[in-house]
Homo-oligomer: A and B are copies of this chain.
């Protein structure tokens, strides 16, 4: 980052944050009278009563609702297209994404396809996407029940094209949620290992955004605070999911890391992980990132020494004088969160897959490679996969 940086800041989303704040859904001015509520195909939104809570608040606000409940953990284009069709037929005014990143990202993409003709991949950039401009979308409301993606405060949505085996991020000004409600009380039911995976996703949004060559004074502020909070509170939230203070701190850190995504960017670690889960949809995104992380961050350790030391300092609250302090702190955090080591072999990934991952990452999310601290070579990438394997 330059001494006199040039940067911009634009996050038009209204964020409402706090325990119990889901109730505000009944009193906020909403962008219409009929909503499609998008949730995952899993059972948790109903089991824990979150869906009923949201539907009840919307009813109090005189909003008619429909529920689309087919979203997969790695959400797919087919569901985006199907739900967008429902939005059109049923004349929905806005889309509510309730759940993890998959449901909220899907809600964003559904909001786009409810207003634009053709196929979703006509609008995606990268891979076989055609990159058509998007000029309108339905308003989006995001209600996360996980703390990891930060999608509630950024414009990004990541959808998988199954037949093309492409998992690509997309976003524009119209895919910022209009309103996001982050209520940590909706997060107490997440089991420990998922709490850790999701928390590390947020951590890497912040850490990658901090070493990205497009980092700015505002993204740095968000990133360092997210990193500090995750280091301090993620082990607590993993150990005791009912600890509302820790849940709230991690929820806020994740939202801050989303604001890093909106003002800086992920780097190629995310491209590599997306490629892996395009082929292995059962690989949780956070687990893939954790597996890659030690070797990935080792790659750039000598390229942004001061930034590694700064991250180490906010984590350990001790003066750092070498960049490896950050790697050490990262491993400490993984151990404290019971996710060390995570190895790619655990998820059925084979070394033969590595060249294919590399190619897919460069093809579908090549843009992020230009934001790394310096260009990473193919050889280095293969080395990262190998180190992360077993």
Residues of A within 8 A of B (CB): 3-21, 184, 217, 221-222, 225, 244-245, 248, 252
Contact = CB atoms under 8 A, between A and B. Distances in A.
Given A217-B252, A221-B221, A225-B221, A15 B9 contact: yes
Contacts of A7: 17-18
B16 A245 contact: no
Contact of A21 (B3, B6, B18): B6
Contacts of A225: 221
Contacts of A14: 8-10, 12
A42 B21 CA distance: 48
Contact of A17 (B9, B18, B244): B9
A32 to B, nearest CB: 18
Contact of A3 (B4, B8, B245): B245
A4 B244 contact: yes
Contact of A10 (B6, B15, B222, B245): B15
Given A7-B17, A10-B13, A221-B225, 16 more contacts: A3-B245, A4-B184, A5-B17, A6-B17, A6-B18, A6-B19, A6-B20, A6-B21, A7-B18, A8-B14, A8-B17, A9-B14, A9-B17, A10-B14, A10-B15, A217-B252
A16 B7 CA distance: 6
A245 B15 contact: no
Nearest to A247: B4
A9 B9 CA distance: 14
Nearest to A173: B14
A255 to B, nearest CB: 9
A219 B15 CA distance: 13
Contacts of A21: 6
B8 A16 contact: yes
Contacts of A8: 14-17
Contact of A18 (B5, B184, B221, B252): B5
A6 B14 CA distance: 14
Contacts of A252: 217
Contacts of A12: 12, 14
Contacts of A10: 13-15
Contacts of A16: 8
A119 to B, nearest CB: 27
A133 to B, nearest CB: 13
A16 B9 CA distance: 7
A28 to B, nearest CB: 10
Give the interface centre of A6, A16, A19, A244 by most chain B CB atoms within 10 Å: A6
16 contacts: A3-B245, A4-B19, A4-B184, A4-B245, A6-B18, A6-B20, A6-B21, A7-B17, A7-B18, A8-B14, A8-B15, A8-B17, A10-B15, A11-B11, A12-B12, A12-B14
Nearest to A18: B6
A4 B247 CA distance: 10
A19 to B, nearest CB: 5
A7 B24 CA distance: 12
